[in-house]
Structure 1
Amino acid sequence: MGLSAALLLVFTLVSACEAYSISFPTSQARRSVWQGTRILKRFRPARHYLQPVRQANPWPMQPLFHPYQGSRQDLRPKATARDVKLTNHHDKFYSCPITIGTPEQEFNVAFDISSSITWVPSMHSPPAYRRMHVYKRFNDELSSTHSTNYTHFDVNYDLARAIGYRSQDSVTIAGLMITNQSFGEALLEPDLFRGMMIDGILGLGLNNIDEEEEPSVFDNMVSQGLVPAPVFSIYLNRYGSGSPDSVLTLGGANPEYCEENFTFADVTEHHRWQFEIDKVQLSSGDGIFTSGRQAVIDSRTSFIVGPMREVHVLNTQLGGKLFPGHPGLLSNSYVYKYKFDCSEVDDLPDVEFIVNGKKLSLSSRDYVVKTEEKGKSVCVSGIFGMKLKEKDEPDWSLGLNFMRAYYTQFDKGNRRIGFARALSFPQT
Structure 2
Amino acid sequence: MKLPPAVAILVFTLIFVCDAYIINVPVSQARKPVWQVPKLAKRLRPSRHHLQPLRKANRQPVQSLFQPNRRTKQGFQLKATGTDVKLTNHYDTVYYAPITIGTPEQEFNVAFDTGSSITWVPSVHSPPDHVDERLYSRYDAQLSRTHSTNYKHFHVSYESGRAAGYRSQDSVTIAGLTIKNQSFGESQMEPDLFRGTGNDGVLGMGLSNINEGEELSVFENMVSQGLVDSPLFSIYLNRYGSGGPDSVLTLGGTDTYYCEEEFIYADLTVPGSWLFELDRVQLSNGDGIFSESGSQAIVDSSTPFIVGPMEEVDVLNTELGGMLVPSYSRQYKFDCSEVDSMPGVEFIVNGEKLSLSSKDYVVKIDDVCYSGILGMKWMETDTPVWFLGLSFMRAYYTQFDLGNQRMGFAKAYTFPNEVSL
Aligned positions of 1:25-424 closer than 5 A: 65-69=63-67, 84-131=85-132, 134-209=135-210, 211-292=212-293, 293-323=295-325, 325-326=326-327, 333=328, 335-372=329-366, 377-391=367-381, 394-424=384-414
Deviates more, 1:307-316 or 1:193-202: 307-316
* Deviation at residue 176 of structure 1 after TM alignment: 0.8
Asked if 1 retains the 8 angstrom alpha-carbon contact of 2:135 and 2:198, the reply is no
Separation of aligned partners in 2, 1:309 and 1:152: 36
Unaligned runs of at least 5 residues, structure 2: 1-37, 43-61, 71-79
CA, structure 1 residues 125+270, in 2 after alignment: closer, same or farther (shift >3 Å)?
same
**Could you tell me the TM-score, scaled by structure 1's length?**
0.77
User: Is the contact between residue 210 and residue 216 of structure 2 (CA under 8 Å) also seen in structure 1?
Assistant: no
Separation in structure 2 between the aligned mates of residue 387 and residue 258 of structure 1, nearest angstrom: 34
- What secondary structure does 1:129 align onto? coil
The structural deviation recorded for 1:260 is 3.3
Deviation of 1:199 after TM superposition, in Å, equals 0.5
The one-letter code of the counterpart of 1:67 is L
Question: What displacement does 1:94 show?
Answer: 0.4
Structure 1 residue 129 displacement after superposition: 3.5
SS in 1 for 2:321: coil
**AA in 1 matched with 2:303:** T
- Equivalent-residue separation in structure 2 for 1:82 and 1:267 (angstroms): 29
- Does the 8 A contact of 1:83 with 1:250 survive in 2? no
Give how far 1:213 is off: 1.3
Deviation at 1:172, TM superposition (A): 0.6
Aligned residue pairs total 351
Instruction: List gaps (5 residues or longer) in structure 1.
Output: 1-21, 27-63, 73-78, 327-332
Structure 2 counterpart of 1:53: none
Find the aligned partners of 2:86 and 2:182 in 1 and give their Cα distance. 22
CA distance in 2, matches of 1:161, 1:117: 13
CA distance in 1, matches of 2:144, 2:230: 30
CA distance in structure 1 between the partners assigned to 2:379 and 2:324 by the alignment:
21
Change (3 A) 1:340 1:307: same
Distance 1:202 1:282, change over 3 A: same
Provide, for residues 339-373 of structure 1, a one-character-per-residue CA deviation record: whole Å limited to 9, x for no partner. 1111111111111111111011111111111111x
Query: What is the alpha-carbon distance in structure 2 between the residues aligned to residue 350 and residue 108 of structure 1?
Result: 35
Q: Is the 8 A contact 2:305 2:391 kept in 1?
A: yes
Q: Distance in 2 between matches of 1:392 and 1:159?
A: 25
Q: What is the CA-CA distance between 1:393 and the residue it aligns to?
A: 5.6
1:22-47 deviation line (CA, Å, top 9, x unaligned): 98xx9xxxxxxxxxxxxxxxxxxxxx
* Greater RCO (CA < 8 Å, at least 6 residues apart): 2
- Sequence identity, in percent? 66
RMSD: 2.4
Residue pair 1:160, 1:190 contacting (<8 A) in 2 also: yes
Q: CA deviation at 1:86?
A: 3.2
Cα distance change of structure 1 residues 85 and 247 upon mapping to structure 2, 3 Å threshold:
farther
Q: Deviations over 1:276-317 (max 9, x none)?
A: 111111111212222212112222221111222222222222
CA distance 1:354–1:205, shift in 2 (3 Å): same
Opposite residue 315 of structure 1, the aligned amino acid is N
Structure with greater proportional helix content: 1
How far off its partner does 1:69 sit?
4.9
Contact kept in structure 2, 1:235 and 1:247, CA below 8 Å = yes
Partner Cα distance (1:410, 1:346) in 2: 32
Q: Is 1:234–1:249's contact at 8 Å kept on the other side of the alignment? A: yes
**Take 2:198 and 2:383, find their aligned partners in 1: how far apart are those partners?**
31
CA distance in 1, matches of 2:347, 2:128: 49
> Using the alignment, how far apart are the partners of 1:134 and 1:318 within structure 2?
41
State which structure, 1 or 2, has the greater radius of gyration over its C-alpha atoms. Answer: 1
Provide the secondary structure at the position in 2 that maps to 1:311. helix
SS at match of 1:87: strand
Q: Distance in 1 between matches of 2:174 and 2:117?
A: 16
Please give the TM-score of this superposition, normalised by the length of structure 2.
Answer: 0.78
